[in-house]
Structure 1
Amino acid sequence: MTDAQYVASRRPLWCGVAALFTDGRGRVVLEDVDYRPTCLLPGGGIDTGEAPSQAIAREVHEELGLTRRFSSVLAVDWIPPGTPGYPPGFPGEAIYVFDGGTLTEDDLAHVRLPGREITGVRRIEPALLPRHMDPANARRALAALRARINGAAPAILEDGRPLAPTPLDDLQVLRTPRKPQLWRWHTSHPVPVELPVRQAWGWLFADDGRVLVLIGQDTGSACLPGGTVEPADHGDPARTLRREAWEEARVRISDAHFLGYLHDETGGRPCARARYAAQITGWQPPRRDEATGQTYTRLLATPEQAAELFDWGDETADQLAAVHTAREKLGLPAPIPRPLTELPPGQLSEGSAAR
């Protein structure tokens, strides 16, 4: 076979690029376009002779007026021939999804739309992407977002579905809308007397400096261990955390250290939602939480990975700073970024774990 014959024998293939941007609350930035009823991630086709990183930089500048460099690919998706919505003879397409990072409010204020095709920009809660995008595009965007949080190699997708699912994929994390918790963070101690402490949540550290995040198996929703202060806790939120850590996650913890509190003024009933830090000292296999009927999968994540699963807004950075200060006081190492993993099996006696 000659070189010319070999080139002629190669199957033609479309190649495209997209950028996953989020705002400060973790909402995904989508474009409204005038040529289809659903939204898209910023991006487009790769021109002849153009590298994917050049293509996405060009597309983002043309569509949003933003100048960016792109060096991290979150996912590569294969769209098979015959996919609905494509023209006859569509040969299939490989799409590179780049990490656009977080756009600040100032960045978003400087977005400039072209005179055609792109008619608007919206920010969408991840779980609501299927309402705004066609199914395959929504799957791709969610898979790319989970890959960003997971922090491993790019996800390889086929029609938006990962070939090697991570725990975040298996649990379909972010399929349920997150509850906004946009309350002001305070590090003062004690909590003002006039402000009742209604809940206590904990940043519970493993020996490697990562923290425990609970994922509801029925919902894919994330939470930190903790819950409502009950009469049996005798007004002690730290005791609440110890009890809830056992009931929800079957983990035993060291003495809890107060980090601060969130001042919740919703519903006309101001209260404090306290945050503590403690070290995990042991655990047993998970069980159904009798209070909620929920069974949780226990994942270990860096504090930064954990924060990406919540909608905490501008107060996130200050809370993370307090978390790392507590980690240092506990004598634990700074966690090495790595994919989220399940808490491994462990053994404790019932009596010691419940104290």
Structure 2
Amino acid sequence: MDLLPFEQYAASLNRKRTSAGVLFRDGVGRVLLVETTYKRAWEIPGGSVDADEAPWRTAVREVAEEIHLDRPLGRLLLIDYVPTDGPMPEGLAFIFDGGLITEEEVAGIEPTDPEIRSVGLYTPGAARDLVKPILARRIEAALDAVTTGGLVLCESGHRVTVQGRR
């Protein structure tokens, strides 16, 4: 077997899209969602990772752009592998802990980003009706990670357990 020159090998490597979001929640278990202007489904604050940008930097940047909060980013709660879906290539989604947020803080958010129409706090059940099913599963898994202190791995929002090869 002939090996490719390193530059050709590097150019042939798979490229994945990546996103990073932040899970904010209040003291009674509601989560912060943003209503976008460019699609029907609501989201958590976050977005696509830019070229040469780390997911944690994306999370901080998107929160500042979308809802004007400047807070330290909490720990990584979840990584989700997302398979190819139509024109969208496979990817990875990261969710970080944004910590607790109050109703007063949410009421004070005035979206100026043209992508954001409104923000609100929703129970996980109500969120399920507003977000895509894959994000609903991620939110539930991320909330569990907050409680357990662990990191959740998912595929299409479904939790997975990774075991060694046998």
Match of 2:160 in 1: 163
Match of 2:142 in 1: 144
Q: Do the aligned partners of 2:74 and 2:99 also contact (CA within 8 Å) in 1?
A: no
Match of 1:78 in 2: 81
Structure showing greater relative contact order (alpha-carbon pairs closer than 8 Å, 6 or more residues apart): 2
Match of 2:64 in 1: 61
CA deviation after TM superposition for structure 1 residue 110, in Å: 3.4
Count of aligned positions: 159
Aligned-residue identity in percent:
34
TM-score (norm 2): 0.89
The C-alpha deviation readout for 1:61-106, integer Å capped at 9, x for no partner, is 0000110221400000011002xxx6x2x22110110001111234
Match of 1:126 in 2: 124
TM-score (norm 1): 0.43
Match of 1:191 in 2: none
How many angstroms apart in 1 are the aligned matches of 2:128 and 2:102? 24
Q: Which amino acid aligns with 1:160?
A: G
Q: Do the aligned partners of 2:81 and 2:155 also contact (CA within 8 Å) in 1?
A: yes
Cα RMSD (Å): 1.6
Q: Do the aligned partners of 1:14 and 1:92 also contact (CA within 8 Å) in 2?
A: yes
Q: Which amino acid aligns with 1:19?
A: V
Q: 1:71 to 1:122 in 2, by over 3 A?
A: closer
Match of 1:238 in 2: none
Match of 1:211 in 2: none
How many angstroms apart in 1 are the aligned matches of 2:102 and 2:132? 27
Match of 1:265 in 2: none
CA deviation after TM superposition for structure 1 residue 50, in Å: 1.2
Runs of 4 or more off by more than 6 Å in structure 1?
none
Q: 1:1-355 to 2 correspondence within 5 Å?
A: 1-82=4-85, 88=87, 90-152=88-150, 154-164=151-161
Per the alignment, in what secondary structure is the counterpart of residue 71 of structure 2? coil
Gaps of 5+ in 2: none
Match of 1:193 in 2: none
Q: Which structure has the larger Rg? A: 1
CA deviation after TM superposition for structure 1 residue 25, in Å: 1.6
How many angstroms apart in 1 are the aligned matches of 2:65 and 2:133? 26
